[in-house]
Chains A and B, each alone.
Chain A
């Protein structure tokens, strides 16, 4: 298995632009998690899905952030409009209600 796939791996954008991060979970996994990691705050859970349904989005910092999971093999995290404080590494992870397996992350820099 290829593991969790994320794209892009790096993203540099200007403040105010829309950013879309993509994730393909491991085939057969029914839960998907979006995290943000910064030096200041560590690893924070933003939102997670179970069987494509959002379960808890209380970690989403603002209405500027939104996430979708249209099917079992794809999810997106969108930031619109982006701000410099959104700069971080964003990870996607998937699981079968057990061990979570992480993707390589998307390093986002908002100028």
Chain B
């Protein structure tokens, strides 16, 4: 069965302490892998789409990478405003745009 697993479930970092979030997937025929950020009380906000192994994308302190089995969201020198839940989702390409979401990683950055 297709599966998207995110780890860790929760991560606490001190401001400036870089780290990575992991998203592993077992879907066949990956069409795209998506990263979203969700703040409390709000809907998920789109961050990145990755389409092929080796691809990387960056936005401010965030960099997303993709391999054939997993994706990493690297956070460099995080700030408290980076605190949020980060969701990973995959598009199998055969389901008219349906995304399969992981459970997310809740990131807390303290000053």
Tell me the count of chain B residues lying within 8 A, CB to CB, of chain A.
21
B96's partner among A50, A101, A104 (CB-CB below 8 A) is: A50
* Known contacts A42-B103, A99-B49; is-contact A105 B43 (Cβ 8 Å): yes
The reply to whether the CB of B34 lies closer than 8 angstroms to some CB of chain A is yes
User: Are B44 and A45 in contact, CB atoms less than 8 angstroms apart?
Assistant: no
A31's partner among B42, B49, B97, B103 (CB-CB below 8 A) is: B97
* Known contacts A91-B43, A104-B42; is-contact A43 B98 (Cβ 8 Å): no
User: Are A101 and B46 in contact, CB atoms less than 8 angstroms apart?
Assistant: yes
Nearest-neighbour CB distance to chain A for B101, whole angstroms, equals: 5
- B contact residues vs A (CB 8 Å cutoff): 32, 34, 36, 42-46, 49, 87, 89, 91, 95-99, 101-104
Q: List 26 A-B contacts (CB under 8 A).
A: A31-B96, A42-B101, A42-B102, A42-B103, A43-B87, A43-B101, A43-B104, A45-B98, A45-B101, A48-B96, A48-B98, A56-B95, A91-B43, A91-B44, A93-B43, A95-B97, A97-B97, A98-B91, A99-B46, A100-B46, A100-B89, A100-B97, A100-B99, A101-B46, A103-B43, A104-B43
